[in-house]
Amino acid sequence: MSKGTVLVVGSNAKRIEIQGGGTGPTGQYLNELVVPVMALLDAGYGIAFATPTGSKPFIDPVSDHAVHFDDDESAHRKAQQFFATHPSMNNVATLRSILDGGLDEYLGFFTPGGQAPVVDLMQDADLGKTLRHFHQSKKPTALLCHGPIATASAMSKAKEFRAALIAGDEPRAADAAKGWQYAGYRMTVYSASEEKPIEDNVLHGKMYFHMPEALTIAGATVETGPDFAPHVVEDRELITGQNPKSDHPIAAKLISAIERVAADNAKQELASATK
């Protein structure tokens, strides 16, 4: 029997804007999606998987290599098979349908990275409503690598915030971010120095903004660790991981947070029953 359901939200983006015009290829990182999902399933939780359009995310080919699984070819093949065939990865709902069905049943939230969330999720109104619910309810909310930028969707002016970042207008971006639910939170995200190899070798161009810069402008306290080393920051209900190497640690932190909240709720219910 499932302990309850965790909402996993993915992106549908396949291209990302680069400076000077045009776009470069992007998507979600395979390990960042499947490693936490498999850990949640192994811990006894069910998964509800949603994207803005209701179609499966595109896996960035850059991520589809054993190097992201500690050079373990068997683990890589297992991840590929899981993404291709497991029901949790193929029963994909729209974010709108998730909202329409109500959010109270979900114990926690997770969004993986790859650059894709920078394109759609950070300005998606349905995701914004979803994150505001999890924030108000103090439910564990985990986002990995580029995923933390999706918290911008909770802003009342998320689209304006992103447009101002692309325009290089920091004052306008800061103004659009006023009232952001996560202002003052400690968090981590993919660093500008980690981004450079992707810009040089995959995008062949520079992104309009980097994630630490954007979240700092919005009001977060961004803490990045050494490049390409596991790094997870937990502040209140928010759990953020810096990079692909943070896949296992963020899964462990999310599971621990969900179980801690469940234990606290059980204690409160017992105390109320014995009064």
Least Cα distance to 13 among 31, 26, 30, 32 occurs for 26
pLDDT of residue 61: 96
Q: What strand order describes the sheet that includes 141-144? A: 92-94, 46-51, 5-9, 106-111, 141-144, 238-241, 232-235
CA 115 remoteness from chain centre:
10
Give the contacts of 70 (CB within 8 A, at least 6 positions apart): none
pLDDT of residue 113: 97
pTM of the model: 0.96
Residue-by-residue pLDDT tens, the chain, 275 positions: 789 999 999 999 999 999 999 999 999 999 999 999 999 999 999 999 999 999 999 999 999 999 999 999 999 999 999 999 999 999 999 999 999 999 999 999 999 999 999 999 999 999 999 999 999 999 999 999 999 999 999 999 999 999 999 999 999 999 999 999 999 999 999 999 999 999 999 999 999 999 999 999 999 999 999 999 999 999 999 999 999 999 999 999 999 999 999 998 888 887 878 76
Q: Work out how many domains the chain is built from and give that number.
A: 1
- The neighbour count for residue 193, using CB atoms within 10 Å, is 13
Expressed as residue numbers, the domain containing 266 is 5-273
User: What CATH number has the domain bearing residue 41?
Assistant: 3.40.50.880
